[in-house]
Structure 1
Amino acid sequence: LQTLIEKSKAVGMKVETVIGDAAYSEKDNLAYSAQENIQLVAKLHPLITQGNRKKEDEFEFNKDAGMYVCKAGHLATRRARQGKKGRGENQTDTYYFDVETCKRCLLREGCYKDGAKSKTYSVSIKSDEHLAQAVFQESEVFKTKAKERYKIEAKNSELKHRHGYDVASSSGLIGMEMQGAMAIFAVNLKRILKLMS
């Protein structure tokens, strides 16, 4: 993303907004967009916004105790933070449960594995970039601009299906670049002619 934006700026484009899919919402791109004052309209990956658990597998957080409670009502005994702050990766809070209680629990099926030495529940701590993007993602501006994404996919489909950009017609990167340039040139020329008429 950063390379594409820099190339666009080098040829005189003013980049204010970038619309893309979830692949564009990685942490480095979010930081770069914020630094360059560019709106990045790309949804965060669901693993970041909702985690990798199904709703029915989630534990509840007890605000008074500052700990998670399992579905059977047992409170975690301690909490530890995993990962180094400022290394570009998200940290996690890991909550530890009493294994002896888990061994006797009626709801241990699918929760506690027999013979396990510990029972933990980990929660990812979102970075400042991810938190800011999650807030932006819920705004009306984001939702309105995200509705324009289908136009990009339609143009990609036209390039692939009508102009042969789905399969390389020659080997090597130079051949691919030339094929891409010609396909995009043809599509742009068609669009110019349509707008002129």
Structure 2
Amino acid sequence: VAQIPAVKERVNVLKEIIEDYENQWSYSDDPDARLGHKSADSAFFGYKTHIAMSDERIITAAIVTTGEKSDGQYLPELLTKSKEAGMEVETVLGDTAYSGKDNLEYAKLEKFQLIAKLNPSVTDGNERRANQFDYNKDAGMFVCPAGHLATRKARTGKKNQKKNQSTTYYFDIEKCKVCPMREGCYKEGAKSKTYSVTIKSLEHEEQAAFQETEEFKRLAKNRYKIEAKNSELKHPHGFKTAKSAGVFGMEVQGATTIFAVNLKRIIKLLSQKE
């Protein structure tokens, strides 16, 4: 019974409520920490650190944000910081969060290869909206500006028509009714809250063709390096848990942790040369 979609959805909501109670997320004294999602069924409360890394596994840039922020939007800033640190960038390797239309256009403008596997649900979205919804690659869902994850999605529109099909994401209307950010986002009396994105775009079509090439597949195999580096930061060096409250405290913790990890890597590289 628990696998029936309608039942599973309510079970997951109940799990989140229990986790909030057990971890006292609702009573946190941290003014900056936010709820983020690693999958449709799991969440975390805190921060994200977006990092860039060289082929030699040296971290070249880092940006600390609150937990609900998506990864892809920070590519330009990470690239700029890496260049300021002395990096010459010809190829950027990332996961599906970095394959949005903006990043594909940015790659063309800056003349570098973007090795990021395309997810058909990741598009440019509704840029005209003041409240931007972010795509969470792990959950496969969009997150609203208040940090609430969509409960389900469906493809809308007819095939082979002039107008492209869309993926429509549905949100918990009960949360929308009491959301402090509902003004301009939720219409009073509405029976549902959805967010739709167009599936197809020219930039994504080009990327879809590129990711089928042998060159793309060969370069994409190196993405495990960044996951290994994330694991090194979180576990041996304790970056999995914030030591103090606030974004600034997390930035200080990130700077010292990354410094130590980079120093270890530099010493190892120097010893290999000897």
| TM tier, smaller | 0.5 to 0.7
Measured after TM superposition, the shift of residue 190 of structure 1 is 1.0
The one-letter amino acid of 1:6's match is T
* Bigger proportion of residues as strand: 2
The structure showing larger relative contact order (alpha-carbon pairs under 8 Å, at least 6 residues apart) is: 2
% identical aligned pairs: 59
Q: Distance in 2 between matches of 1:196 and 1:11?
A: 19
Residue matched to 1:73: none
- Shifted more, 168-177 versus 5-14: the winner is 5-14
The one-letter amino acid of 1:186's match is A
Structure 1 residues 189 and 47: CA distance shift in structure 2, 3 A: same
Residue matched to 1:174: 248
CA RMSD, Structure 1 to Structure 2 (Å) = 2.6
Measured after TM superposition, the shift of residue 189 of structure 1 is 1.1
Measured after TM superposition, the shift of residue 178 of structure 1 is 1.1
Measured after TM superposition, the shift of residue 10 of structure 1 is 2.7
Q: Distance in 1 between matches of 2:246 and 2:208?
A: 40
Structure 1 residues 192 and 80: CA distance shift in structure 2, 3 A: closer
Residue matched to 1:35: 109
Q: Distance in 2 between matches of 1:193 and 1:173?
A: 30
Does residue 158 in structure 1 map to residue 225 in structure 2? no
Q: Secondary structure at the match of 1:40?
A: strand
CA deviations over 1:77-104 (Å, ceiling 9, x no partner) = xx452xxxxxxxxx439xxxxxxxxxxx
Q: Secondary structure at the match of 2:97?
A: helix
Q: 2:265 aligns with which of 188, 191, 194?
A: 191
Measured after TM superposition, the shift of residue 7 of structure 1 is 1.9
Residue matched to 2:79: 5
Q: Distance in 1 between matches of 2:121 and 2:248?
A: 37
Mark the structure with the bigger radius of gyration: 1
- TM-score by length of structure 2 reads 0.45
* Bigger proportion of residues as helix: 1
Q: Secondary structure at the match of 1:148?
A: helix
Q: Distance in 2 between matches of 1:17 and 1:24?
A: 13
Segments of 5+ residues of structure 1 without an aligned counterpart are 62-66, 68-78, 82-90, 94-123
Residue matched to 1:144: 218
Measured after TM superposition, the shift of residue 5 of structure 1 is 1.1
Q: Distance in 2 between matches of 1:11 and 1:3?
A: 12
Q: Distance in 2 between matches of 1:157 and 1:33?
A: 28
